[in-house]
Chain A
C-alpha cells in the first residue's frame, strides 16, 4: 500500500530525513518511534503533503501512485489522513460545515453522491459515540477553544468520518491524560479494517499498550535503524533509545 524508498528530505538546506525505507501493507499497523529531533514529524508532514520541505532523493509509492507529486487535498481524497500533532484552531469555520465539505470532496472523488444534511448528521452522530463526544462539538468552530484532549479526539473523530485507507497518527498521545488516551486509542482500534493501514508515530511506548502495532520501527537521525515486532517497543521502553544507538556503531 505504501512504500517509502530511500527518502531524503530537509528544510532550508538542513537535511532531516537521510534515506528512510519503509513498507506498509494493507491491514497492518506500524509504529514509528524515535527520540526528539529524529525526523518523525517531518516524515508525517511530508506524507501528508506539507509544503516547505525539500525532497532531495528517493520516492514514495502509495497504491501504485507517486505520492509526492500529489497535492495535499489529492492525497486526502486518495485515502491518506494525518491526525495532526498540533491540530489547528480555525475560528469562524463551523466544525460540521468543515467536515461535511471534506467528506463530500472525498465522496465526489470516489464517484459517490454528496451526503445531504440529514444523512451527514446521522453519520456523524454514530461516529461521535465512538469518541465519546457531545453533539455541541459540531456547532463549535474547528478546534477553537478546545482543550488538548478535545483536539486529539476531534482528529480521531474526523478520521472516523472520513474513513481513510492510510491513517498517520502524529504523536496522538502527546498531551493526553490516561482517560483521554484510552478513549482515543479505543477509537483508533475500532477503526481498524482489513483493507486499511495505520502508521502510528510516537515518542513513547505508552500509546502502544493501547494501539498494538504489528511492526515497530526506530527512527534515529533521519534513518530507520531498527525494525521489529511489538517486542521491540517494550525493549525500548525498558532500555531507552541509547540502547539501540550504542548498538549501531556507525551512528555514534
Chain B
C-alpha cells in the first residue's frame, strides 16, 4: 500500500490511487521484478505534482482542468472492444504500410497487426512481450529517458501503461520501409483511459522509420496518455512521426523523449488534427557531437480544439544542429500553443539551433500563443527564432493573381502550401504522400479554405 498525505491536490489524484491499488493486486506479478517499483515511483511522482495548472509556467496557455475532472477509467482488460480486422482499412496509412503493430485501447491486437518475416534484423514486437522475453535489455533503457521528471503525465503513464511498441534496430541493421504503430480507441463513454508506451532503440549505424498514429472509432470523450522513448545511437538515422487524429472530444497527452549520440540524423514529425485538448511534450537531448535533429510539426484545429506543442531541446555537446519548424492553421475558436525552449550547455560550442513557428488564423476568434525561449550558456553558437501569427500574406496573393490565378484559388494554394511546407519534410515517401493527400482533403472540407 502507498501512504498518502491528504492534501488539496490529492483529491484530484485520489481516484488514480484507488485504481492503482486494484492494479497492484492483480498485476503486480506481471513483467520483470524491477518494473513494479518503477510504476510505484511513477504514481508517487504523479501524486506529488498532480495535474498542472495555469500557474505552472509550462502550462500557462493550456488548461487541463476538464481532463482532471473526467472520471478516470483505466482500461485493464484487453479482451473487450476489438474491432474486426477489415475495419482497419479506412484508417490512413494502415493500407499502404505493410509492417504495423495495432493497439486497441492500449492493448495489442495480434489480428490487426502485421509483421513481415524479413525485417532487416530489426526486432518489432509489443512491449509486454519484450519485457517478458528480454527484461535485462529493457532494464537498461526503459524509463531512463522519460524519467518521471518534468511532467506528471509521463509519470502517470509509467504507473499504468499496459502495452505499446518495442522496436530495436541492432547496430548496422536497418529497414527502408516504415513501421506503423496504430493506437485505436474504441471508447464509447466518458473517461476511458489508455497509456500507450513505446520504446524505440536505433543502435549504431542503423536506419529506421517509425510512425505513430492515434485514431478513434467513435466520437467519444476518452483520454490517451502516451509516452515514447527514443534512443539514437552513433551515426544512426531515425525518422519518427506522429499523426494524432483522435476523436474531436478526446484528450491527448503525449511525450516523446529522444536521446541522441554522435553524428545521428534524427527527425521527428508531429501532425495533429484531432482531440479537443492535445499536448505534445517533445524532449530532445543532443548528447553526442555532430548530430542533426529536425522537429517538424503541423496542427490543424477548429471548433474549441486546443493543440499544444512544448519542446525542450538540450544541446549538451558541440557541433550539433537542431531545427524546429511548426505551422498551425487555426479556425473557429481554436487555439494553437507553441513553446520551444532551446537549452545550450557551456560545452556545446558551434551549436546551430533554429526555431520557427508560423500560425495562420482562418477566423477572428482563433488564437495562437507562441513562446520561444533561449537559454544559452556557450559563447560560440548560432541560435535564431521567429514566430508569426496572422492572415495570408497579401504580397503572395497578389503575386499569384498577377499571373492569372483567381483570388480564391490563390488563397487555397497558399493555405495548402502552408501545410505543404511541413509535410514536404517527411522523407518516407508513402507516408508523405498519404498525409499530403489527407491534409489536402481536410483543408478542402473546411468552408473557410474555399470561401471568401
- Given known A71-B407, A73-B407, contact A90–B396 (CB-CB < 8 A): yes
Q: Give the interface size class of chain B.
A: 20 to 34
Query: Which of B393, B401, B410, B424 has the most CB atoms of chain A within a 10 A radius of its CB?
Result: B401
Q: How far is the CA of A227 from the CA of B416 in the complex (A)?
A: 47
Query: Which of B395, B399, B410 has the most CB atoms of chain A within a 10 A radius of its CB?
Result: B399
Q: How far is the CA of A102 from the CA of B410 in the complex (A)?
A: 10
Q: Does A98 contact B (CB under 8 A)?
A: yes
Q: How far is the CA of A81 from the CA of B402 in the complex (A)?
A: 7
Q: Which residues of B contact A51 (CB under 8 A)?
A: 394, 398
A9 CB to closest chain B CB (Å) equals 16
User: Nearest chain-A residue to B327 (Cβ)?
Assistant: A92
Q: How far is the CA of A162 from the CA of B349 in the complex (A)?
A: 50
Q: How far is the CA of A126 from the CA of B323 in the complex (A)?
A: 38
Q: Which residues of A contact B395 (CB under 8 A)?
A: 88
Contact B404 A93 (CB under 8 A): no
Q: How far is the CA of A141 from the CA of B396 in the complex (A)?
A: 13
Contact A92 B403 (CB under 8 A): no
- Given known A92-B418, A93-B413, contact A102–B404 (CB-CB < 8 A): yes
A109 CB to closest chain B CB (Å) equals 7
Interface of B is mostly: helix
Q: Does A91 contact B (CB under 8 A)?
A: yes
Q: Does B406 contact A (CB under 8 A)?
A: yes
Q: Which residues of A contact B394 (CB under 8 A)?
A: 51
Contact A106 B404 (CB under 8 A): yes
Q: Which residues of B contact A59 (CB under 8 A)?
A: none
Q: How far is the CA of A101 from the CA of B417 in the complex (A)?
A: 14
Contact of B402 among A48, A91, A141 (CB under 8 A): A48
Q: Does B419 contact A (CB under 8 A)?
A: yes
Contact of A76 among B403, B414, B424 (CB under 8 A): B403
B32 CB to closest chain A CB (Å) equals 48
Contact B424 A102 (CB under 8 A): no
Q: Does A49 contact B (CB under 8 A)?
A: yes
- Given known A105-B406, A109-B404, A162-B404, contact A90–B399 (CB-CB < 8 A): yes
User: Nearest chain-B residue to A105 (Cβ)?
Assistant: B404
User: Nearest chain-B residue to A73 (Cβ)?
Assistant: B401
Contact A92 B405 (CB under 8 A): no
- Given known A92-B424, A98-B400, contact A73–B417 (CB-CB < 8 A): no
Interface string of A220-251 (1 = CB under 8 A from B): 00000000000000000000000000000000
Contact of A101 among B413, B418, B420, B421 (CB under 8 A): B413
Q: Which residues of A contact B420 (CB under 8 A)?
A: 92-93
Q: Which residues of A contact B419 (CB under 8 A)?
A: 92
- Given known A90-B417, A92-B420, A101-B413, contact A84–B404 (CB-CB < 8 A): no
Contact B417 A158 (CB under 8 A): no
Query: Which of B394, B398, B410 has the most CB atoms of chain A within a 10 A radius of its CB?
Result: B398
- Given known A90-B396, A101-B413, contact A158–B403 (CB-CB < 8 A): yes
User: Nearest chain-A residue to B420 (Cβ)?
Assistant: A92
Q: Which residues of B contact A109 (CB under 8 A)?
A: 404
Q: Which residues of A contact B403 (CB under 8 A)?
A: 73, 76, 81, 98-99, 102, 105, 158, 162
A-B contact pairs, 14 of them (CB 8 A): A49-B401, A71-B401, A71-B407, A72-B402, A73-B403, A73-B410, A88-B398, A91-B421, A92-B419, A98-B400, A103-B404, A105-B406, A106-B404, A141-B417
Query: Residues of A with Cβ closer than 8 Å to B?
Result: 48-51, 71-73, 75-77, 81-82, 84, 87-88, 90-93, 98-99, 101-103, 105-106, 109, 141-142, 158, 162
Query: Residues of B with Cβ closer than 8 Å to A?
Result: 393-396, 398-407, 409-410, 413-414, 416-421, 424
- CB-CB nearest 9 A-B residue pairs: A92-B417, A92-B421, A76-B404, A102-B403, A92-B420, A72-B401, A105-B404, A88-B399, A93-B417
